[in-house]
Amino acid sequence: MSELHKFLFDGLPVRGMIVRLTDAWQEILARRASNTSTGAYAPPVAELLGEMTAAATLMQANIKFNGALILQIFGDGPVKVAVAEARPDLGVRATAKVIGELPPDARLPDMVNVGNKGRCAITLDPKDKQPGQQAYQGVVPLFGDHGEKLGKLSEVLQHYMLQSEQLDTTLVLAADANVAAGLLIQRLPVKGEGNLEGSAPADRDQANEDQIGRNEDYNRISILASSLTRDELLTLDVETILRRLFWEEKLLRFEPQAGMLGPHFACTCGRERVANMIRGLGIEEAEGILAERGDIEVGCDFCGKQYRFDAVDAAQIFTAPGDQMPGTAVVQ
């Protein structure tokens, strides 16, 4: 069963989280594999998408955002786009669009950053949007401070977290055909400490920024976390991982989130959304498809569900409510 574990390091400004997606991740892979037009993901793409799904879950649980957290990579290689989304109830879904062949041992740059033009976007899409309210989006490149291509998704995201939240973050991510997992360690912002009590927010922010890369406790725990291997993360249970890494630290554990309260596969597609998409195509385009094929069929990239609209359904899409015949009484 997929699970999320949160913990604190007692008395230290450091917190952590481990996610293990098993059934949720297998469901995403199985749905893709049963899609006859795409077939299953090649192993390197599955690995990337699994890491993205684990990371999106960790980031959502970390900030507790009331809306969808969408992690996207826009690639300049064979993987054109990869998307992982995590919602506040830890419902997750993911998909990738791959064009062309990729080597079996393809790494991140081979898939999405061939010409160093790939980028990663993190979008926070509020659940109950006010009129005119926009989703927040942060975009980071897939290269480091000196233009060097980054080899791991975790490095890209650590960079993003440092930029956006001004907090040191350590991420270890891994995925295969059965498990997508991640460990996140983050330094908590300094607050409530005696020397900062009553200080102005600006001073506090400054004090926090001054701590970047300098907190000894965080640095020690980060080094321990980084020693976790891909194999360990994929095969060991959470208890064993925590014991092996942090046996000298005092952990405060929260109740693990599993089952329906934990990470699970969920798709938010629906007929109304597809209808809006068809409306977006325009009436001419839609009529063209109808003339050619008899109906409009749209499949959801995330879950594979097929939506079918015949000529009558399509006519309704392009009929604004006010244009509909109000009933026989007034049709004279």
Name every residue whose Cβ is closer than 8 Å to that of residue 175 and which is 6 or more positions away in sequence: 25, 46, 47, 48, 49, 50, 51, 53, 54, 181, 234
Smallest gap, in angstroms, from Cβ of residue 144 to Zn ion? 36
Q: For residues 174-233, which are near Zn ion according to CB under 5 A?
A: none
Select 167 or 303, whichever has its Cβ closest to Zn ion. Answer: 303
232-251 residues in contact with Zn ion (CB under 5 A) are: none
Number of residues that bind Zn ion (CB under 5 A): 6
**Rounded Cα distance, 167 and 209, in Å:** 8
Residue tagged 């926070």 (tokens) = 124
The residue (of 5 and 31) whose beta carbon lies closer to Zn ion is 31
Give least dist CB 324 to Zn ion, A.
Answer: 28
Distance of CA 137 to the CA centre of its chain: 13
**Minimum distance of Zn ion from residue 103's CB (angstroms):** 30
C-alpha pair distances (Å), 151 with each of 157, 208, 230: 12, 29, 14
Which lies closer to Zn ion via its Cβ, residue 52 or residue 94? 94
Q: Which CB atom, from 40 or from 207, has the smaller least distance to Zn ion?
A: 40
Which residues from 263-322 bind Zn ion, rule CB under 5 A? 267, 269, 300, 302-303, 305
Between residues 105 and 272, which has the closer beta carbon with respect to Zn ion?
A: 272
Closest approach of Zn ion to the CB of residue 316, in Å: 22
Between CA 82 and CA 95 the distance in angstroms is 6
The phi and psi torsions of 255 (rounded to 5 degrees) equal -55, 125
User: Using CA atoms, how far apart are residues 70 and 125, in angstroms rounded to an integer?
Assistant: 8
Q: Which stretch binds Zn ion (CB under 5 A): 71-79, 183-191, 230-238, 262-270?
A: 262-270
Interface with Zn ion (CB under 5 A): 267, 269, 300, 302-303, 305
